[in-house]
Structure 1
Protein backbone atom coordinates (compact mmCIF):
# COMPACT_ATOMS: atom_id res chain seq x y z
CA UNK A 1 0.00 0.00 0.00
CA UNK A 2 0.97 3.67 -0.20
CA UNK A 3 1.40 3.83 3.58
CA UNK A 4 3.73 0.82 3.57
CA UNK A 5 5.78 2.29 0.73
CA UNK A 6 6.10 5.64 2.54
CA UNK A 7 7.19 3.90 5.74
CA UNK A 8 9.88 2.01 3.82
CA UNK A 9 11.15 5.11 1.94
CA UNK A 10 14.04 5.73 4.34
CA UNK A 11 15.24 2.13 4.10
CA UNK A 12 14.75 2.08 0.33
CA UNK A 13 16.95 5.11 -0.44
CA UNK A 14 19.60 3.76 1.93
CA UNK A 15 19.45 0.36 0.16
CA UNK A 16 18.72 -1.33 3.49
CA UNK A 17 15.69 -3.42 2.42
CA UNK A 18 15.67 -7.09 1.70
CA UNK A 19 15.59 -7.94 -2.00
CA UNK A 20 11.92 -8.94 -1.92
CA UNK A 21 10.91 -5.79 -0.06
CA UNK A 22 12.90 -3.57 -2.41
CA UNK A 23 11.28 -5.25 -5.41
CA UNK A 24 7.82 -4.77 -3.90
CA UNK A 25 8.47 -1.06 -3.28
CA UNK A 26 9.67 -0.57 -6.87
CA UNK A 27 6.61 -2.38 -8.19
CA UNK A 28 4.32 -0.19 -6.09
CA UNK A 29 6.01 3.04 -7.23
CA UNK A 30 5.70 1.92 -10.85
CA UNK A 31 1.99 1.07 -10.58
CA UNK A 32 0.80 3.64 -8.00
CA UNK A 33 -1.01 6.71 -9.36
CA UNK A 34 -0.18 8.71 -6.21
CA UNK A 35 3.01 10.78 -6.11
CA UNK A 36 5.61 9.80 -3.52
CA UNK A 37 7.84 12.91 -3.12
CA UNK A 38 9.41 11.48 0.03
CA UNK A 39 11.55 9.14 -2.06
CA UNK A 40 13.07 12.03 -4.03
CA UNK A 41 13.54 14.13 -0.88
CA UNK A 42 15.29 11.35 1.03
CA UNK A 43 17.22 10.23 -2.05
CA UNK A 44 18.74 13.69 -2.42
CA UNK A 45 20.39 13.32 0.98
CA UNK A 46 22.69 10.46 -0.06
CA UNK A 47 24.84 12.38 -2.62
CA UNK A 48 24.96 15.36 -0.25
CA UNK A 49 26.40 13.16 2.45
CA UNK A 50 28.98 11.81 0.03
CA UNK A 51 30.33 15.35 -0.38
CA UNK A 52 30.30 16.17 3.33
CA UNK A 53 31.81 13.07 4.84
CA UNK A 54 34.52 10.52 4.07
CA UNK A 55 33.09 6.99 3.65
CA UNK A 56 33.76 4.62 6.51
CA UNK A 57 33.28 0.84 6.29
CA UNK A 58 30.80 -0.48 8.84
CA UNK A 59 31.85 -3.39 11.07
CA UNK A 60 30.98 -6.78 9.60
CA UNK A 61 28.66 -7.67 12.48
CA UNK A 62 26.83 -4.30 12.55
CA UNK A 63 23.75 -5.50 10.70
CA UNK A 64 23.40 -8.61 12.90
CA UNK A 65 23.70 -6.50 16.08
CA UNK A 66 21.17 -3.94 14.84
CA UNK A 67 18.65 -6.57 13.80
CA UNK A 68 19.11 -8.39 17.11
CA UNK A 69 18.54 -5.14 19.03
CA UNK A 70 15.43 -4.35 16.98
CA UNK A 71 14.09 -7.85 17.52
CA UNK A 72 14.74 -7.58 21.26
CA UNK A 73 12.86 -4.28 21.48
CA UNK A 74 9.84 -5.66 19.63
CA UNK A 75 9.40 -8.93 21.56
CA UNK A 76 6.01 -8.56 23.29
CA UNK A 77 5.80 -9.21 27.00
CA UNK A 78 4.04 -12.48 27.77
CA UNK A 79 0.80 -11.93 29.65
CA UNK A 80 0.49 -13.44 33.09
CA UNK A 81 -1.50 -16.69 33.06
CA UNK A 82 -3.68 -18.22 35.74
CA UNK A 83 -3.34 -21.93 36.15
CA UNK A 84 -6.32 -23.46 37.96
CA UNK A 85 -5.79 -26.58 40.03
CA UNK A 86 -6.27 -29.25 37.43
CA UNK A 87 -4.84 -32.70 37.79
CA UNK A 88 -2.40 -34.82 35.88
CA UNK A 89 -2.24 -34.90 32.12
CA UNK A 90 -4.84 -32.17 31.75
CA UNK A 91 -2.66 -29.69 33.70
CA UNK A 92 0.44 -30.58 31.68
CA UNK A 93 -1.48 -29.98 28.47
CA UNK A 94 -2.76 -26.64 29.80
CA UNK A 95 0.75 -25.52 30.75
CA UNK A 96 2.01 -26.47 27.28
CA UNK A 97 -0.83 -24.53 25.68
CA UNK A 98 0.04 -21.48 27.83
CA UNK A 99 3.71 -21.62 26.82
CA UNK A 100 2.99 -21.75 23.10
CA UNK A 101 0.10 -19.28 23.15
CA UNK A 102 0.54 -16.14 21.07
CA UNK A 103 -1.82 -13.20 20.83
CA UNK A 104 -3.97 -12.92 17.70
CA UNK A 105 -2.43 -11.21 14.69
CA UNK A 106 -4.66 -8.16 15.23
CA UNK A 107 -3.14 -7.66 18.71
CA UNK A 108 0.52 -8.09 17.76
CA UNK A 109 2.67 -4.93 17.90
CA UNK A 110 3.70 -3.63 14.46
CA UNK A 111 7.38 -4.58 14.61
CA UNK A 112 8.09 -3.46 11.06
CA UNK A 113 6.36 -0.12 11.72
CA UNK A 114 8.64 0.50 14.72
CA UNK A 115 11.67 -0.49 12.67
CA UNK A 116 10.59 1.74 9.80
CA UNK A 117 9.98 4.58 12.21
CA UNK A 118 13.54 4.19 13.54
CA UNK A 119 14.99 4.24 10.04
CA UNK A 120 12.77 7.21 9.15
CA UNK A 121 14.14 9.12 12.12
CA UNK A 122 17.66 8.18 11.04
CA UNK A 123 16.97 9.47 7.53
CA UNK A 124 15.60 12.69 8.98
CA UNK A 125 18.74 13.05 11.09
CA UNK A 126 20.82 12.53 7.96
CA UNK A 127 18.92 15.35 6.26
CA UNK A 128 19.51 17.62 9.25
CA UNK A 129 23.24 16.84 9.16
CA UNK A 130 23.37 17.62 5.45
CA UNK A 131 21.54 20.91 5.93
CA UNK A 132 23.80 21.86 8.83
CA UNK A 133 26.88 21.05 6.76
CA UNK A 134 25.69 23.25 3.90
CA UNK A 135 24.74 26.02 6.33
CA UNK A 136 28.18 25.78 7.93
CA UNK A 137 29.79 26.29 4.52
CA UNK A 138 27.58 29.34 3.94
CA UNK A 139 28.50 30.76 7.35
CA UNK A 140 32.22 30.26 6.67
CA UNK A 141 31.87 32.06 3.34
CA UNK A 142 30.01 34.93 4.99
CA UNK A 143 32.61 35.08 7.76
CA UNK A 144 35.32 35.52 5.14
CA UNK A 145 33.39 38.40 3.56
CA UNK A 146 32.85 40.01 6.97
CA UNK A 147 36.57 39.70 7.81
CA UNK A 148 37.47 41.35 4.51
CA UNK A 149 35.05 44.21 5.17
CA UNK A 150 36.38 44.64 8.69
CA UNK A 151 39.91 44.88 7.28
CA UNK A 152 38.75 47.51 4.78
CA UNK A 153 37.04 49.52 7.53
CA UNK A 154 40.15 49.30 9.74
CA UNK A 155 42.26 50.59 6.83
CA UNK A 156 39.89 53.50 6.29
CA UNK A 157 39.91 54.30 10.00
CA UNK A 158 43.73 54.29 9.99
CA UNK A 159 43.77 56.63 6.98
CA UNK A 160 41.24 58.92 8.66
CA UNK A 161 43.31 58.98 11.86
CA UNK A 162 46.38 59.89 9.82
CA UNK A 163 44.51 62.74 8.13
CA UNK A 164 43.29 63.98 11.50
CA UNK A 165 46.84 63.91 12.87
CA UNK A 166 48.10 65.82 9.82
CA UNK A 167 45.28 68.36 10.17
CA UNK A 168 46.09 68.88 13.86
CA UNK A 169 49.77 69.36 13.06
CA UNK A 170 48.92 71.80 10.29
CA UNK A 171 46.57 73.73 12.58
CA UNK A 172 49.38 74.02 15.12
CA UNK A 173 51.78 75.34 12.45
CA UNK A 174 49.17 77.83 11.22
CA UNK A 175 48.65 79.06 14.78
CA UNK A 176 52.41 79.58 15.13
CA UNK A 177 52.50 81.34 11.75
CA UNK A 178 49.68 83.67 12.77
CA UNK A 179 51.50 84.46 15.98
CA UNK A 180 54.67 85.23 14.02
CA UNK A 181 52.79 87.40 11.52
CA UNK A 182 51.38 89.56 14.30
CA UNK A 183 54.76 90.07 15.96
CA UNK A 184 55.89 93.66 15.20
CA UNK A 185 59.49 92.50 14.96
CA UNK A 186 58.74 89.90 12.24
CA UNK A 187 59.19 90.37 8.51
CA UNK A 188 55.90 89.66 6.75
CA UNK A 189 54.97 89.33 3.09
CA UNK A 190 51.35 89.32 1.92
CA UNK A 191 51.07 86.79 -0.90
CA UNK A 192 48.71 86.89 -3.89
CA UNK A 193 48.20 84.36 -6.67
CA UNK A 194 48.20 85.05 -10.40
CA UNK A 195 47.71 83.02 -13.57
CA UNK A 196 46.97 79.34 -12.76
CA UNK A 197 47.03 80.20 -9.02
CA UNK A 198 44.52 83.05 -9.39
CA UNK A 199 42.50 83.35 -6.18
CA UNK A 200 45.20 81.99 -3.88
CA UNK A 201 46.25 84.18 -0.97
CA UNK A 202 48.36 83.97 2.17
CA UNK A 203 51.44 85.31 3.87
CA UNK A 204 55.05 84.61 4.77
CA UNK A 205 56.25 85.48 8.26
CA UNK A 206 59.85 85.48 9.52
CA UNK A 207 60.29 86.19 13.23
CA UNK A 208 63.59 87.75 14.29
CA UNK A 209 64.42 84.82 16.59
CA UNK A 210 63.69 81.73 14.48
CA UNK A 211 62.66 80.15 11.24
CA UNK A 212 59.75 81.44 9.23
CA UNK A 213 56.44 80.19 7.83
CA UNK A 214 54.63 80.34 4.50
CA UNK A 215 50.84 79.83 4.57
CA UNK A 216 48.54 79.84 1.52
CA UNK A 217 44.82 79.13 1.07
CA UNK A 218 42.77 78.35 -2.05
CA UNK A 219 45.89 77.21 -3.86
CA UNK A 220 45.00 74.75 -6.66
CA UNK A 221 46.86 71.46 -6.82
CA UNK A 222 49.94 71.46 -9.01
CA UNK A 223 49.63 69.60 -12.33
CA UNK A 224 50.55 65.92 -12.35
CA UNK A 225 54.31 65.46 -12.25
CA UNK A 226 54.91 69.02 -11.00
CA UNK A 227 55.24 70.79 -7.67
CA UNK A 228 55.18 74.27 -6.13
CA UNK A 229 58.63 75.60 -5.23
CA UNK A 230 59.18 78.65 -2.97
CA UNK A 231 61.93 81.21 -3.60
CA UNK A 232 63.68 84.09 -1.91
CA UNK A 233 64.21 86.98 -4.32
CA UNK A 234 67.14 89.39 -3.83
CA UNK A 235 67.56 91.98 -6.55
CA UNK A 236 65.72 89.67 -8.93
CA UNK A 237 67.94 86.67 -8.12
CA UNK A 238 66.10 83.59 -6.80
CA UNK A 239 67.24 81.14 -4.13
CA UNK A 240 65.15 78.06 -3.33
CA UNK A 241 63.31 78.10 -0.02
CA UNK A 242 61.86 74.60 -0.44
CA UNK A 243 58.96 72.66 -1.96
CA UNK A 244 55.33 73.10 -0.92
CA UNK A 245 52.61 70.47 -0.81
CA UNK A 246 48.97 71.43 -1.30
CA UNK A 247 46.28 69.67 0.70
CA UNK A 248 42.99 68.50 -0.79
CA UNK A 249 41.33 71.52 0.86
CA UNK A 250 43.63 74.01 -0.90
CA UNK A 251 45.81 74.73 2.14
CA UNK A 252 49.60 74.85 1.71
CA UNK A 253 51.71 75.29 4.84
CA UNK A 254 55.50 75.35 5.11
CA UNK A 255 57.34 75.63 8.42
CA UNK A 256 61.03 75.89 9.21
CA UNK A 257 61.77 78.31 6.38
CA UNK A 258 65.18 79.82 6.99
CA UNK A 259 65.25 83.59 7.43
CA UNK A 260 67.22 85.75 5.03
CA UNK A 261 67.81 89.32 6.08
CA UNK A 262 68.53 90.41 2.51
CA UNK A 263 65.41 88.81 0.98
CA UNK A 264 63.07 91.31 -0.68
CA UNK A 265 60.31 89.02 -1.97
CA UNK A 266 58.84 85.57 -1.53
CA UNK A 267 57.56 83.84 -4.68
CA UNK A 268 56.25 80.45 -5.84
CA UNK A 269 56.69 78.82 -9.22
CA UNK A 270 55.45 75.54 -10.69
CA UNK A 271 58.38 73.23 -11.36
CA UNK A 272 59.02 69.58 -12.26
CA UNK A 273 58.69 67.10 -9.38
CA UNK A 274 61.76 67.26 -7.17
CA UNK A 275 62.36 70.96 -7.82
CA UNK A 276 65.02 72.85 -9.74
CA UNK A 277 68.00 75.06 -8.95
CA UNK A 278 66.64 78.12 -10.74
CA UNK A 279 63.03 79.01 -11.63
CA UNK A 280 61.90 77.77 -15.03
CA UNK A 281 58.89 80.05 -15.29
CA UNK A 282 57.21 83.15 -13.97
CA UNK A 283 55.97 83.25 -10.34
CA UNK A 284 52.34 82.23 -9.81
CA UNK A 285 52.34 83.53 -6.20
CA UNK A 286 54.42 86.48 -4.94
CA UNK A 287 54.63 89.11 -2.20
CA UNK A 288 57.02 91.80 -0.97
CA UNK A 289 58.66 91.43 2.43
CA UNK A 290 58.36 94.38 4.77
CA UNK A 291 60.04 94.81 8.14
Structure 2
Protein backbone atom coordinates (compact mmCIF):
# COMPACT_ATOMS: atom_id res chain seq x y z
CA UNK A 1 0.00 0.00 0.00
CA UNK A 2 2.83 2.40 0.82
CA UNK A 3 4.48 1.80 -2.56
CA UNK A 4 1.25 2.65 -4.32
CA UNK A 5 1.06 5.93 -2.38
CA UNK A 6 4.66 6.84 -3.27
CA UNK A 7 4.22 6.48 -7.03
CA UNK A 8 1.72 9.33 -7.40
CA UNK A 9 4.09 11.61 -5.50
CA UNK A 10 7.09 10.63 -7.66
CA UNK A 11 5.05 10.99 -10.83
CA UNK A 12 3.85 14.39 -9.70
CA UNK A 13 7.41 15.54 -9.03
CA UNK A 14 8.58 14.33 -12.44
CA UNK A 15 5.73 16.13 -14.17
CA UNK A 16 6.49 19.29 -12.18
CA UNK A 17 10.23 19.18 -13.04
CA UNK A 18 9.49 18.50 -16.71
CA UNK A 19 7.05 21.38 -16.82
CA UNK A 20 9.56 23.73 -15.19
CA UNK A 21 12.35 22.63 -17.54
CA UNK A 22 10.16 22.93 -20.59
CA UNK A 23 8.92 26.29 -19.41
CA UNK A 24 12.47 27.51 -18.88
CA UNK A 25 13.51 26.40 -22.38
CA UNK A 26 10.47 28.12 -23.87
CA UNK A 27 11.29 31.26 -21.89
CA UNK A 28 14.90 31.30 -23.13
CA UNK A 29 13.80 30.64 -26.71
CA UNK A 30 11.19 33.39 -26.57
CA UNK A 31 13.43 35.82 -24.68
CA UNK A 32 16.32 35.49 -27.17
CA UNK A 33 14.30 35.27 -30.38
CA UNK A 34 14.90 38.88 -31.49
CA UNK A 35 18.65 38.90 -30.85
CA UNK A 36 19.04 35.41 -32.36
CA UNK A 37 17.26 36.60 -35.48
CA UNK A 38 19.63 39.59 -35.74
CA UNK A 39 22.64 37.30 -35.27
CA UNK A 40 21.45 34.92 -37.99
CA UNK A 41 20.71 37.83 -40.32
CA UNK A 42 24.29 39.14 -39.99
CA UNK A 43 25.80 35.69 -40.53
CA UNK A 44 23.58 35.10 -43.57
CA UNK A 45 24.82 38.33 -45.14
CA UNK A 46 28.45 37.32 -44.57
CA UNK A 47 27.80 33.79 -45.80
CA UNK A 48 26.19 35.12 -49.00
CA UNK A 49 29.05 37.53 -49.68
CA UNK A 50 27.00 40.65 -48.94
CA UNK A 51 29.79 42.19 -46.89
CA UNK A 52 28.76 45.80 -47.47
CA UNK A 53 25.30 45.15 -46.03
CA UNK A 54 26.75 43.05 -43.19
CA UNK A 55 29.15 45.83 -42.18
CA UNK A 56 26.45 48.50 -42.37
CA UNK A 57 24.17 46.42 -40.12
CA UNK A 58 26.68 46.28 -37.25
CA UNK A 59 26.69 48.33 -34.06
CA UNK A 60 28.30 51.81 -34.22
CA UNK A 61 31.10 50.66 -31.88
CA UNK A 62 31.90 47.85 -34.34
CA UNK A 63 32.30 50.30 -37.22
CA UNK A 64 34.30 52.78 -35.14
CA UNK A 65 36.75 50.05 -34.12
CA UNK A 66 37.20 48.38 -37.51
CA UNK A 67 37.17 50.01 -40.93
CA UNK A 68 35.16 48.60 -43.79
CA UNK A 69 38.33 47.55 -45.62
CA UNK A 70 39.64 45.72 -42.54
CA UNK A 71 36.33 43.91 -42.17
CA UNK A 72 36.27 42.97 -45.86
CA UNK A 73 39.83 41.65 -45.64
CA UNK A 74 39.04 39.50 -42.60
CA UNK A 75 35.89 38.02 -44.12
CA UNK A 76 37.31 37.41 -47.61
CA UNK A 77 40.36 35.69 -46.19
CA UNK A 78 38.22 33.44 -44.02
CA UNK A 79 35.75 32.76 -46.85
CA UNK A 80 32.99 31.37 -44.63
CA UNK A 81 31.01 28.61 -46.34
CA UNK A 82 28.49 27.51 -43.72
CA UNK A 83 27.69 28.28 -40.11
CA UNK A 84 25.67 26.88 -37.22
CA UNK A 85 24.59 28.84 -34.16
CA UNK A 86 24.38 27.03 -30.85
CA UNK A 87 20.98 25.36 -30.21
CA UNK A 88 18.49 27.61 -28.46
CA UNK A 89 18.45 25.29 -25.42
CA UNK A 90 22.17 26.09 -24.86
CA UNK A 91 21.81 29.85 -25.15
CA UNK A 92 22.21 32.25 -22.30
CA UNK A 93 19.54 34.76 -21.40
CA UNK A 94 20.02 38.29 -22.69
CA UNK A 95 21.75 40.55 -20.19
CA UNK A 96 19.90 43.81 -20.48
CA UNK A 97 21.30 45.48 -23.59
CA UNK A 98 23.76 42.79 -24.62
CA UNK A 99 23.89 39.11 -25.50
CA UNK A 100 26.48 36.64 -26.81
CA UNK A 101 26.01 33.66 -29.10
CA UNK A 102 28.42 30.91 -29.97
CA UNK A 103 28.63 28.68 -32.98
CA UNK A 104 30.76 26.88 -35.54
CA UNK A 105 31.60 28.01 -39.05
CA UNK A 106 33.07 26.20 -42.02
CA UNK A 107 35.94 28.14 -43.51
CA UNK A 108 38.10 27.83 -46.60
CA UNK A 109 40.46 24.87 -46.51
CA UNK A 110 43.67 26.80 -45.85
CA UNK A 111 46.99 25.06 -45.19
CA UNK A 112 46.68 22.84 -42.11
CA UNK A 113 44.12 25.04 -40.36
CA UNK A 114 40.96 23.22 -39.18
CA UNK A 115 38.03 23.35 -41.58
CA UNK A 116 35.70 24.18 -38.68
CA UNK A 117 36.25 27.14 -36.38
CA UNK A 118 34.41 28.08 -33.20
CA UNK A 119 33.24 31.67 -32.98
CA UNK A 120 31.59 34.14 -30.63
CA UNK A 121 29.08 36.71 -31.82
CA UNK A 122 28.17 39.54 -29.45
CA UNK A 123 25.22 41.86 -29.96
CA UNK A 124 24.23 45.10 -28.28
CA UNK A 125 21.10 47.19 -28.62
CA UNK A 126 21.22 50.42 -30.61
CA UNK A 127 18.00 52.45 -30.73
CA UNK A 128 16.22 49.39 -29.35
CA UNK A 129 17.51 47.16 -32.17
CA UNK A 130 19.96 44.31 -31.79
CA UNK A 131 23.18 44.84 -33.75
CA UNK A 132 26.43 42.86 -33.91
CA UNK A 133 29.21 44.39 -31.81
CA UNK A 134 31.91 41.72 -32.17
CA UNK A 135 32.58 38.57 -34.20
CA UNK A 136 35.61 36.67 -32.91
CA UNK A 137 37.47 33.50 -33.77
CA UNK A 138 38.69 30.71 -31.47
CA UNK A 139 39.81 31.69 -27.98
CA UNK A 140 39.79 35.42 -28.65
CA UNK A 141 38.56 37.32 -25.62
CA UNK A 142 36.04 40.02 -26.62
CA UNK A 143 36.92 42.49 -23.85
CA UNK A 144 40.56 42.38 -25.02
CA UNK A 145 40.05 42.48 -28.77
CA UNK A 146 37.17 44.94 -28.51
CA UNK A 147 34.44 45.47 -31.11
CA UNK A 148 34.92 44.29 -34.68
CA UNK A 149 35.54 41.02 -36.50
CA UNK A 150 38.87 39.50 -35.46
CA UNK A 151 40.08 36.15 -36.76
CA UNK A 152 43.71 35.01 -36.95
CA UNK A 153 44.05 33.72 -40.50
CA UNK A 154 47.26 32.89 -42.30
CA UNK A 155 47.66 35.46 -45.09
CA UNK A 156 47.32 34.59 -48.76
CA UNK A 157 50.50 33.72 -50.66
CA UNK A 158 50.90 37.34 -51.74
CA UNK A 159 50.21 38.42 -48.18
CA UNK A 160 52.88 36.03 -46.91
CA UNK A 161 55.44 37.39 -49.35
CA UNK A 162 54.61 40.97 -48.33
CA UNK A 163 54.75 40.12 -44.62
CA UNK A 164 58.14 38.40 -44.86
CA UNK A 165 59.59 41.13 -47.09
CA UNK A 166 58.39 43.88 -44.75
CA UNK A 167 59.96 42.06 -41.79
CA UNK A 168 63.36 41.89 -43.51
CA UNK A 169 63.14 45.53 -44.64
CA UNK A 170 62.25 46.71 -41.12
CA UNK A 171 65.09 44.64 -39.67
CA UNK A 172 67.52 46.05 -42.25
CA UNK A 173 66.58 49.64 -41.42
CA UNK A 174 67.08 48.96 -37.71
CA UNK A 175 70.45 47.25 -38.26
CA UNK A 176 71.70 50.05 -40.53
CA UNK A 177 70.79 52.68 -37.94
CA UNK A 178 72.40 50.65 -35.16
CA UNK A 179 69.26 51.06 -33.05
CA UNK A 180 66.80 48.15 -32.87
CA UNK A 181 64.37 49.91 -30.52
CA UNK A 182 61.63 50.64 -33.08
CA UNK A 183 61.96 47.18 -34.61
CA UNK A 184 61.69 45.59 -31.17
CA UNK A 185 58.65 47.65 -30.19
CA UNK A 186 56.77 46.46 -33.29
CA UNK A 187 57.20 42.77 -32.41
CA UNK A 188 54.52 40.73 -30.66
CA UNK A 189 53.73 41.05 -26.99
CA UNK A 190 54.74 37.40 -26.56
CA UNK A 191 58.25 38.11 -27.89
CA UNK A 192 58.73 41.12 -25.65
CA UNK A 193 57.69 39.07 -22.62
CA UNK A 194 60.22 36.31 -23.36
CA UNK A 195 63.13 38.12 -25.04
CA UNK A 196 64.73 41.44 -24.14
CA UNK A 197 65.92 43.99 -26.67
CA UNK A 198 69.50 43.54 -25.46
CA UNK A 199 69.35 39.82 -26.27
CA UNK A 200 68.28 40.57 -29.83
CA UNK A 201 70.98 43.21 -30.22
CA UNK A 202 73.64 40.73 -29.09
CA UNK A 203 72.30 37.97 -31.35
CA UNK A 204 72.36 40.23 -34.42
CA UNK A 205 75.46 42.22 -33.59
CA UNK A 206 77.13 41.16 -36.83
CA UNK A 207 74.45 42.85 -38.94
CA UNK A 208 75.17 46.10 -37.08
CA UNK A 209 78.97 45.83 -37.15
CA UNK A 210 79.19 44.45 -40.69
CA UNK A 211 76.22 46.11 -42.40
CA UNK A 212 74.93 44.75 -45.68
CA UNK A 213 72.17 46.16 -47.82
CA UNK A 214 69.13 43.94 -47.40
CA UNK A 215 66.78 46.48 -48.95
CA UNK A 216 67.25 44.75 -52.31
CA UNK A 217 64.86 42.02 -51.15
CA UNK A 218 62.04 44.45 -51.94
CA UNK A 219 62.62 43.58 -55.61
CA UNK A 220 62.73 39.81 -54.99
CA UNK A 221 60.22 37.10 -54.27
CA UNK A 222 61.08 34.97 -51.24
CA UNK A 223 61.46 31.24 -51.85
CA UNK A 224 59.59 29.27 -49.19
CA UNK A 225 60.56 25.82 -47.95
CA UNK A 226 56.91 24.81 -47.98
CA UNK A 227 53.48 25.87 -46.83
CA UNK A 228 53.31 27.68 -43.48
CA UNK A 229 52.24 25.71 -40.44
CA UNK A 230 49.78 27.13 -37.92
CA UNK A 231 49.54 26.12 -34.28
CA UNK A 232 46.43 27.24 -32.42
CA UNK A 233 46.88 27.33 -28.65
CA UNK A 234 44.13 28.23 -26.18
CA UNK A 235 46.48 29.95 -23.74
CA UNK A 236 49.40 31.07 -25.87
CA UNK A 237 47.53 32.34 -28.90
CA UNK A 238 48.13 31.32 -32.50
CA UNK A 239 51.55 30.94 -34.12
CA UNK A 240 52.48 30.23 -37.71
CA UNK A 241 55.94 29.42 -39.04
CA UNK A 242 57.36 30.19 -42.47
CA UNK A 243 60.92 29.53 -43.62
CA UNK A 244 62.93 29.95 -46.80
CA UNK A 245 65.40 32.37 -48.34
CA UNK A 246 65.79 35.42 -50.54
CA UNK A 247 67.90 34.76 -53.70
CA UNK A 248 70.48 37.46 -53.04
CA UNK A 249 73.94 37.60 -54.63
CA UNK A 250 76.57 36.40 -54.02
CA UNK A 251 74.88 34.39 -51.22
CA UNK A 252 71.22 33.81 -50.32
CA UNK A 253 69.56 35.19 -47.20
CA UNK A 254 67.99 32.31 -45.19
CA UNK A 255 65.23 32.99 -42.66
CA UNK A 256 62.86 31.24 -40.26
CA UNK A 257 60.06 33.52 -39.08
CA UNK A 258 57.36 32.85 -36.52
CA UNK A 259 54.38 35.18 -36.22
CA UNK A 260 52.04 35.35 -33.25
CA UNK A 261 48.41 36.38 -32.96
CA UNK A 262 46.47 36.64 -29.72
CA UNK A 263 43.73 38.64 -28.04
CA UNK A 264 46.30 41.34 -27.32
CA UNK A 265 47.88 41.36 -30.79
CA UNK A 266 44.94 41.39 -33.20
CA UNK A 267 47.18 41.05 -36.25
CA UNK A 268 50.15 38.79 -36.97
CA UNK A 269 53.30 40.13 -35.33
CA UNK A 270 56.82 38.78 -35.19
CA UNK A 271 57.21 36.24 -32.40
CA UNK A 272 60.50 34.39 -32.94
CA UNK A 273 62.86 34.85 -35.84
CA UNK A 274 66.13 33.69 -37.30
CA UNK A 275 67.66 35.83 -40.04
CA UNK A 276 70.96 34.35 -41.16
CA UNK A 277 73.86 36.37 -42.44
CA UNK A 278 73.87 35.56 -46.20
CA UNK A 279 75.14 32.00 -46.63
CA UNK A 280 74.40 28.76 -48.46
CA UNK A 281 75.19 26.65 -45.41
CA UNK A 282 71.63 26.78 -44.07
CA UNK A 283 69.96 25.77 -47.34
CA UNK A 284 68.97 22.26 -48.28
CA UNK A 285 70.73 20.82 -51.31
CA UNK A 286 67.57 21.21 -53.37
CA UNK A 287 67.11 24.85 -52.44
CA UNK A 288 70.77 25.64 -52.89
CA UNK A 289 70.73 24.26 -56.43
CA UNK A 290 67.52 26.15 -57.13
CA UNK A 291 69.12 29.35 -55.87
CA UNK A 292 72.21 28.65 -57.97
CA UNK A 293 70.16 28.66 -61.18
CA UNK A 294 69.24 32.31 -60.51
CA UNK A 295 72.86 33.44 -60.14
CA UNK A 296 75.13 34.90 -62.79
CA UNK A 297 78.04 32.80 -61.59
CA UNK A 298 76.83 29.22 -61.32
CA UNK A 299 79.56 27.67 -59.24
CA UNK A 300 78.32 24.31 -58.01
CA UNK A 301 80.97 24.32 -55.27
CA UNK A 302 78.87 26.93 -53.46
CA UNK A 303 76.36 24.21 -52.67
CA UNK A 304 78.75 21.33 -52.00
CA UNK A 305 82.25 20.14 -52.67
CA UNK A 306 81.94 18.51 -56.08
CA UNK A 307 85.31 16.74 -55.82
CA UNK A 308 84.36 15.00 -52.58
CA UNK A 309 80.80 14.16 -53.51
CA UNK A 310 80.42 10.43 -54.12
CA UNK A 311 76.90 10.98 -55.44
CA UNK A 312 78.18 13.34 -58.11
CA UNK A 313 80.92 10.91 -59.13
CA UNK A 314 78.36 8.14 -59.48
CA UNK A 315 76.13 10.38 -61.58
CA UNK A 316 79.03 11.30 -63.86
CA UNK A 317 79.80 7.65 -64.45
Indicate the TM-score class for this superposition, using the shorter chain for normalisation. under 0.3
Task: Say which structure, 1 or 2, has more relative contact order (CA 8 Å, 6+ apart).
Answer: 1
TM-score normalised according to structure 2 size: 0.22
TM-score normalised according to structure 1 size: 0.23
Query: Which of structures 1 and 2 has the bigger CA Rg?
Result: 1
